Structure 1
Amino acid sequence: MKAVGFKTSLPITAANSFIDFETEKPSPQGRELLVKINAIAVNPVDYKIRQNAAKDTELATPKIIGWDTCGVVEAIGNAASLFKVGDEVYYAGDITKPGCNAEYQVIDERIVGKKPKSLSIEAAAAIPLTALTAWEILFDRIRISAEKDKGKTLLIIAGAGGVGSIAIQLAKKIAGLKVIATASRPESVAWCKRMGADVVVNHKNLTEEVRKAGFQYVDFIVDFVDANAYWDEMAELIKPQGHIASITGSANPVALNKLKTKSTSFSWEFMYTRSTFQTEDMIEQHQILNKVADLLDEGVLMPTLTQTLNGLSAETLKQAHEQLESGTTIGKLAIRY
């Protein structure tokens, strides 16, 4: 089968930052599905892994990355029961295994969902990683619920990105929160408002902007861009006994002592935890993706696709990664095969 990968970590402009190659078509085992891939989407995790997975070495065989896809089940393992051959599916994959930048992929059925019927293949491919991340950070990590939290305030740092775009919608339409999102350019401000944000503030003067908008403190904060860069401001803006969560990791340890006097809770969210550690509740991702598909088909959630490229090739992946690395992407970028 055709695939795109890399043997060494190079700048995206380098000739061999991605290479086209042929490799053996995989076979599903156990609870795995073999999926014929029709479209993929790209995320910051893709270029971060490309930049770091083979920094000081050259891999013997190219590494295939990519963790957002839509396709059709072509075969199933002998223990699979959630899907049948011919089913249209979408999923965000498993970071410990080969990715979706290929014609075919095997994937555990417990982290796969039914494709939203109302979406094109490229729009569907743009949903899984961001939807799972946003859902888990709001409902599994912070444990927000409409019953107890309706009307409370949520600050989303980086509202116009892929995860922010879905998080705004889930927080507003499912949890009933008052959503404050950050954005700085006119087009990203407009996008956040389209997604449903009540208030949009400039992240460059975050504390001042939030206070100017009428909020001394906020109940919840989610960081989708840089935990270290915004740590002091998050600690200042969070309400006593509030909750902060982040997906971005940190180059340096975060100063948790700054949260002590407010008795603030803090959580990390890593969408690949369930698949990496084969957790007992791994099938939750199957269920979340099915719920999200229903919400999209019912028109409760809006798709977040803003740009589509065509064709599985090294050149197309280079173009996609270069766009993501620019830091100016609004919503999601997909590639239709």
Structure 2
Amino acid sequence: MKAVGLHRYLPIDEPDSLIEEEIEKPVAKGRDLLVKIAAVSVNPVDTKIRSPKAEKEDELKILGWDACGTVVQTGENCEWFQEGDEVYYAGDVNRQGSNSEYQLVDERIAAKKPESLSCAEAAAMPLTTLTAWEALFDRLRITKEDEGKTILIIGGAGGVGSIATQLAKQAGLTVAATASREETKDWCFKMGADHVINHHQELLPQLKAAGINGTEYILCLNDTDGHWEGMADVILPQGTICSIVENQHPLDLNLLKSKSAGFVWEFMFTRAMFQTDDMIKQREILTKAAKKFDQGKLHHTLTTVLKPFSAEQLKKAHAKLESGKMIGKLVVEYS
């Protein structure tokens, strides 16, 4: 089968940053599904893993952690899927990725594709939907009792911010999102944000100008280091900050002490990476999300499609993400 991956970690403009190879098609065993891929989405995690470093890979390292396709084989212990099922999933960062004709995925982290979405639209949604859902409801622990509270979403026009805004609004929260360009501001409002402020300016004064003196929740999707002091100012007493972006410098947690505020991480791959007892929850989340997509309660965030599947198209996708100008999600279709 054809696969796109790397042996060396290079800048995307290098010829060998992503290459095509013919490799052996895997076989489904245990709880794995073998999926024939129809479309994949490219996420910041792909570009971060591909970014230049000294290591070399003897075996082709295949990237890609968002996919939609058709089950063509099931392992002997599979319970919920059969050949012919269309599925969508975000995969496991410890395993080979989806940038290939076929991929193995554990059935506990896959779900049946939303019927109302095309394969390209469905491929755009798993990673960002899981990240947003887990951040809001597992990490920040937002419940029905929090209706009427306010959340600040830093980086509202990206893939995670787009779906987090929709989910937060459905949970009854007031959503303030950040964006810095007119087109990204418009996108945030389209996703349902009540207020949009500029993340290149001080956060709290802008919120106060909108009549918001602080927020019970903050979801940081961009530059944890750069926004740390601003978030500490914005968070209300006993509030909680969640970030998905690793810090490069030590964070001064003392800034949160007087407010008894909390800080938590969200990493979508945790459940699969550590084979947690609740790993199946990702299948449950994607199943619930599929129902919401089909009911029109959630809207896909696909904005760009490239095709056909090739190393060149994936290079274009990585370059577009690294430009910092991406709105919504980008998908590469296989045909």
Scaled by the length of structure 1, the TM-score of the pair is: 0.98
Q: Match of 1:133?
A: 131
Deviation at 1:207, TM superposition (A): 2.4
Which of 60, 63, 80 does residue 62 from structure 1 map onto? 60
Matched, 1:16 2:16: yes
Deviation at 1:208, TM superposition (A): 2.2
Deviation at 1:61, TM superposition (A): 2.0
Q: Match of 2:267?
A: 270
Which of 306, 310, 319 does residue 316 from structure 2 map onto? 319
Q: Match of 1:247?
A: 244
Deviation at 1:257, TM superposition (A): 1.1
Q: Match of 2:6?
A: 6
SS at match of 2:12: coil
Matched, 1:81 2:84: no
* CA contact 2:308–2:333 (8 Å) conserved in 1: yes
Matched, 1:150 2:147: yes
| 1:165-192 Cα shifts (integer Å, max 9, x gaps) | 000000001x110000000111100100
Measured in 1, the distance between the counterparts of 2:104 and 2:61 equals: 15
* CA contact 2:204–2:214 (8 Å) conserved in 1: no
* CA contact 2:207–2:213 (8 Å) conserved in 1: yes
| 1:198-241 Cα shifts (integer Å, max 9, x gaps) | 01111111222112211111110000011111000000000000
Unaligned runs of 5+ in 1: none
| 1:18-72 Cα shifts (integer Å, max 9, x gaps) | 10100000011100000000000000000000015xx213321221010000000
Letter in 1 for 2:139: R
Deviation at 1:103, TM superposition (A): 0.3
4+ aligned runs moved over 4 Å, structure 1: none
Which structure has more strand as a fraction of its residues?
Answer: 2
Scaled by the length of structure 2, the TM-score of the pair is: 0.98
Matched, 1:188 2:184: yes
Measured in 1, the distance between the counterparts of 2:273 and 2:56 equals: 25
RMSD in angstroms over aligned alpha carbons?
0.7
Matched, 1:280 2:277: yes
SS at match of 1:116: coil
The number of equivalent residue pairs is 333
Measured in 2, the distance between the counterparts of 1:188 and 1:322 equals: 19
Identity across matched positions, percent: 55
Letter in 2 for 1:50: R
Measured in 1, the distance between the counterparts of 2:56 and 2:244 equals: 29
